[in-house]
Amino acid sequence: MFRKILIANRGEIACRVIRTAQRLGIRTAAVYSEADADAWHVEMADEAYGIGAAPARESYLNIGRILEVAERSGAQAIHPGYGFLSENAEFAEACEKAGIVFIGPPASAIRAMGLKAAAKDLIARSGVPVVPGYQGAEQDLASFAEAAARIGYPVLLKASAGGGGKGMRIAGGPEELAGAMASAKREAASSFGNDRLLLERYLTRPRHIEVQVFADRYGNVIPLYERDCSIQRRYQKVIEEAPAPGLDAAQRNAMGDAACAAASAIGYVNAGTVEFIVQGDVFYFMEMNTRLQVEHPVTEAITGLDLVEWQLRVAAGERLPRRREDLRMEGHAIETRIYAEDPRHDFRPSIGKLTHLRSPCQSEFVRVDSGVRAGDSISIHYDPMIAKLIVRGADRDEAVARLRQALAEYEIAGVTTNVAFLSAVAAHPAYERAELDTGFLERYGAELLTPPRAASRTVLAAAVLHVLIEEQQKTEERAAASNDPWSPWDELTAWRMNGEGYQDLLFQDGERELTLRVYPRRKGAWRVDFPDGSGQLEKRAGAAYLDGAKLTCNAVESGNELIVFEEGADYHLKRIDPLTPHGAEREAGGRLTAPMPGRIMQVLVQKGAAVKYGAPLLILEAMKMEYTITAPVDGTIDEIRYAPGDVVEEGAELITLS
């Protein structure tokens, strides 16, 4: 076994690999960019080395710099994690030339699966069924139009060199093909440096099921069961579970055999995932990911195995720890990805500091894999994933129940997250019935992305209690520091001459302003006038009670807001100072600003052009994703402030129109 390994990655996966290495007594060396100097993986590792500026191409994608650090640290092997250089054949070859073990497949296998078109041809020759499509060298519109007409619409355009949902577009008919091709090519070139596309028949109600495979250097290849990854947004997985619901033993064995055949066909070694598109009883090979997958913990949960340990042992030259006939599957597991993103605005990434972060309590049934802590920042430069939440149950019903409970315990402030959205998915009847396919979120989006609800009585009570306790603490601190600790100015009795003492607390809840009148009773007790009537609020024995019922929500401060968490949802209340003039700030309707830092990819209008509401004006790329900025009103373009290629900051005024 290795004495020391270097982890050429960051965040959650770097922390994940470090934990297994530490358990096995292997020293770890981390690398970090300037943006990650204080990151958790840097703190966890035995050693850490800076490798460059924040942009990934100057740090985590810098092969030469990473190999220099590996040599300097004395690492015997490099674990690439996932993303970055994990599926880079040149990196695997460079490690081999440098005498360092690449903890992954050989470069030849990465290269064989790296280009989807060639991979499909290779896999088809091995007898594994593939989706009808076009992988030809001709990349012009006419060739794709001819192929699409032969295959039949709708069709799916995919980046040949890509993965992770990048560079994928659907064309529902001939009139949509040109636009879909142009957009897919741009994103493919930006994400992978290669704009080559392939085309496939788009199945209308498919499931996305993948098989975890493992192979050693001695020709042994086994499947470690399957995962259902059908709940997706933008072709990126949101919820994964194992085993796949409704899959019988015959289908499971057939897909396992096909996955092993695909791996054997390219001389595969180490961990990999063969992905299938499934409709009814028929399955087709889609692609092979030549690395450890983000969702590998659900496989670990049902098998009791540590797949990172298997990776290390196989890379060190050992045989697979188990044979296929020795494997056992127990229970059901589900993983959700907790992202800093805004589901109500097309899942736009949310950038900022995690001012508050409380994860569910971990146990034998609940696991949280994360690479960030409270106080860390979600950066524009990297994936906005905060954590992976993994739950396990004796069966799927129990796992779903635990998922709902764990999501209800999550509290995150400082960025917008998808926690409430995931809670809505987990509570949806169709999800409970395991009616899964890749169109799930699109089909039920209106039900899942409901407008923010008004703060309830219990939410307002939690906000009031937070303010009162904070004021009490400040008053006690002021009294303790005073020469007169019994001064009446350091009391919170709300005493008034000729009347009952009270205090008014003002909040902004969405569009409505609320005044809550609070009457102190005894220490730790108040009467509160809510919009729907009075209530008795108490704080005792470390818990809060409203009208005798224990409050289950919690309030925290974040910037100028109070955020109240209740059963997986969060409510944002602004505290209003009655002594400060206030009013709704309205942004000028004719100004369009950048929703986040990014690069202008394309300007779609000219100065003086007349545009209608919703018309696309320009395309902004941020965090390797494209966002179309549209006209907020009918009008005329007055000024275009940026050109293609320009980098803009969040809030930068892009276009003015009248």
Note the pLDDT of residue 582.
Answer: 44
Residue 242 above 50 pLDDT? yes
Could you tell me if 111 and 222 lie in one domain?
Answer: yes
For the entire predicted model, the pTM comes to 0.82
Residues 198-213 have a mean pLDDT of 92
The two structure tokens encoding residue 423: 């809670």
The two structure tokens encoding residue 539: 């704080």
Report the CATH number that the domain containing residue 210 is assigned in CATH: 3.30.470.20
Note the pLDDT of residue 487.
Answer: 63
Residue 634 above 50 pLDDT? yes
Residues 273-286 have a mean pLDDT of 91
Average pLDDT, the chain: 90
Residue 492 above 60 pLDDT? no
For residue 581, tell me if it sits in a domain: no
Note the pLDDT of residue 658.
Answer: 86
Note the pLDDT of residue 488.
Answer: 59
Tally of CB atoms within 10 A around 332:
23
Residue 399 domain boundaries: 331-451
Could you tell me if 320 and 286 lie in one domain?
Answer: yes
Give the Cα-Cα-Cα angle 495, 498, 504 (nearest 5 degrees).
45
Do 390 and 369 touch, CB atoms closer than 8 A? yes
Do 108 and 34 touch, CB atoms closer than 8 A? no
End residue of a domain, out of 401, 428, 451: 451
Note the pLDDT of residue 523.
Answer: 84
DSSP letter at 58 equals G
**Alpha helices in 290-380, H assignment, sequence order:** 296-303, 307-315
Helix (H), strand (E) at residue 460:
helix 457-481
Report the CATH number that the domain containing residue 35 is assigned in CATH: 3.40.50.20
**Alpha helices in 56-197, H assignment, sequence order:** 63-73, 89-97, 107-114, 116-125, 141-151, 174-192
Report the CATH number that the domain containing residue 537 is assigned in CATH: 3.30.700.30
Helix (H), strand (E) at residue 133:
strand 133-134
**Strand 155-159 vs strand 77-79: parallel, antiparallel, or unpaired?**
unpaired
Report the CATH number that the domain containing residue 156 is assigned in CATH: 3.30.1490.20
Residues 377-381 have a mean pLDDT of 87
Residue 517 above 90 pLDDT? yes
DSSP 3-state assignment of 270? strand
Report in angstroms the alpha-carbon separations of 636 from 147, 639, 657, 658: 40, 9, 5, 5
Name residue, tokens 């949509």: 176
Residue 113 above 60 pLDDT? yes
Tens-digit pLDDT profile for residues 243-260 = 999 999 999 999 999 999
Q: Work out the burial of residue 442: count CB atoms within 10 Å of its CB; fewer than 13 is exposed, 13-18 middle, 19 or more buried.
A: exposed
Strand-pair partners of 78: 6, 102
**Alpha helices in 11-57, H assignment, sequence order:** 11-23, 40-44
For residue 236, tell me if it sits in a domain: no
For residue 358, tell me if it sits in a domain: yes
Write the CB contacts of 74 (distance below 8 Å, at least 6 apart in sequence).
4
What type of residue is 221? V
Residue 499 above 70 pLDDT? no
More confident residue, 191 or 460: 460
Note the pLDDT of residue 547.
Answer: 95
Residue 588 above 50 pLDDT? no
End residue of a domain, out of 273, 297, 326: 326
**Structure-derived torsion over alpha carbons of residues 630, 634, 640, 646, reported in degrees to the nearest 10:** 0
Name residue, tokens 């290669």: 194
Could you tell me if 385 and 292 lie in one domain?
Answer: no
Could you tell me if 392 and 535 lie in one domain?
Answer: no
For residue 492, tell me if it sits in a domain: yes
Strand-pair partners of 390: 335, 367
End residue of a domain, out of 166, 201, 236: 201
DSSP 3-state assignment of 266? coil
What type of residue is 531? P
Least confident residue range of 92-106, 202-216, 564-578? 564-578
Going by pLDDT thresholds of 50, 70 and 90, the confidence category of residue 591 is: low
Q: Work out the burial of residue 614: count CB atoms within 10 Å of its CB; fewer than 13 is exposed, 13-18 middle, 19 or more buried.
A: exposed
Residue 527 above 60 pLDDT? yes
Query: In the chain, how many H helices and how many E strands?
Result: 16, 40
Query: Could you give the percent of the chain with pLDDT greater than 90?
Result: 71
Total count of residues recorded for the chain: 658
For residue 407, tell me if it sits in a domain: yes
Write the CB contacts of 625 (distance below 8 Å, at least 6 apart in sequence).
166, 187, 234, 349
| Domain count across the chain | 6
Could you tell me if 322 and 279 lie in one domain?
Answer: yes
Residue in 21, 94, 618 with CA at minimum distance from that of residue 313: 21
Could you tell me if 462 and 571 lie in one domain?
Answer: yes
**Alpha helices in 266-324, H assignment, sequence order:** 296-303, 307-315
Could you tell me if 434 and 474 lie in one domain?
Answer: no
For residue 571, tell me if it sits in a domain: yes
User: What percent helix, strand, coil does the chain show, rounded to 5?
Assistant: 30, 35, 35
Could you tell me if 82 and 165 lie in one domain?
Answer: no
Distance CA 234, CA 384 (A): 15
Distance CA 304, CA 306 (A): 7
Residue 233 above 60 pLDDT? yes
Q: Work out the burial of residue 279: count CB atoms within 10 Å of its CB; fewer than 13 is exposed, 13-18 middle, 19 or more buried.
A: middle
Report in angstroms the alpha-carbon separations of 278 from 209, 438, 533: 7, 10, 55
Could you tell me if 462 and 494 lie in one domain?
Answer: yes
Query: Which residues are catalytically annotated?
Result: 291
Give the Cα-Cα-Cα angle 102, 166, 122 (nearest 5 degrees).
60
Do 535 and 521 touch, CB atoms closer than 8 A? no
Do 224 and 303 touch, CB atoms closer than 8 A? yes
Could you tell me if 488 and 412 lie in one domain?
Answer: no
Tens-digit pLDDT profile for residues 529-581 = 999 999 999 998 889 999 999 999 999 998 778 999 998 899 999 988 776 54
Could you tell me if 210 and 289 lie in one domain?
Answer: yes
Residues 50-64 have a mean pLDDT of 95
Could you tell me if 469 and 428 lie in one domain?
Answer: no
Tens-digit pLDDT profile for residues 1-35 = 999 999 999 999 999 999 999 999 999 999 999 99
**Alpha helices in 220-306, H assignment, sequence order:** 249-265, 296-303
For residue 89, tell me if it sits in a domain: yes
Residue 408 above 70 pLDDT? yes
For residue 239, tell me if it sits in a domain: no
Query: Could you give the percent of the chain with pLDDT greater than 70?
Result: 94
Do 183 and 115 touch, CB atoms closer than 8 A? no
Tens-digit pLDDT profile for residues 326-376 = 999 999 999 999 999 999 888 888 888 999 999 999 999 999 999 999 999
Residue 450 above 80 pLDDT? yes
Residues 88-105 have a mean pLDDT of 97
